[in-house]
Amino acid sequence: EDQVTQSPEALRLQEGESSSLNCSYTVSGLRGLFWYRQDPGKGPEFLFTLYSAGEEKEKERLKATLTKKESFLHITAPKPEDSATYLCAVPVIQGAQKLVFGQGTRLTINP
């Protein structure tokens, strides 16, 4: 069965302390992997799409990487405004084609 698993569930860092979030997936025939950011009380906001193993995308302090089994979202020298829940999503075929989201990692950056 196609699955998307994110870890850790929650992560608390000090400002400037770099770390990585993980998204592992088991799908046949990857059609892309999406990263979203969600702030409290808001809808998810698109960050990156990765399509093939080895691909990397960067945006400010965030860098997303992709292997054949997982994706990492690296956060370098984070700031308090990077606090949010980060979601990854993968297209799967369950009957029809659809986008399945992981449970998310709740990131807190303390000043």
Partner 1 sequence: DAGVIQSPRHEVTEMGQEVTLRCKPISGHDYLFWYRQTMMRGLELLIYFNNNVPIDDSGMPEDRFSAKMPNASFSTLKIQPSEPRDSAVYFCASSLELYTEAFFGQGTRLTVV
Sequence-distant (6+) residues with CB within 8 A of 79 are 15, 61, 109
- Contacting residue, 29, 68, 81, 96, with partner 1 by CB under 8 A: 96
- Contacting residue, 64, 73, 87, 109, with partner 1 by CB under 8 A: 87
Binding segment for partner 1 (CB under 8 A), chosen from 13-21, 26-34, 54-62, 72-80, is 26-34
Give residues in contact with partner 1 (CB under 8 A). Answer: 31-32, 34, 41-46, 49, 87, 91, 94-104
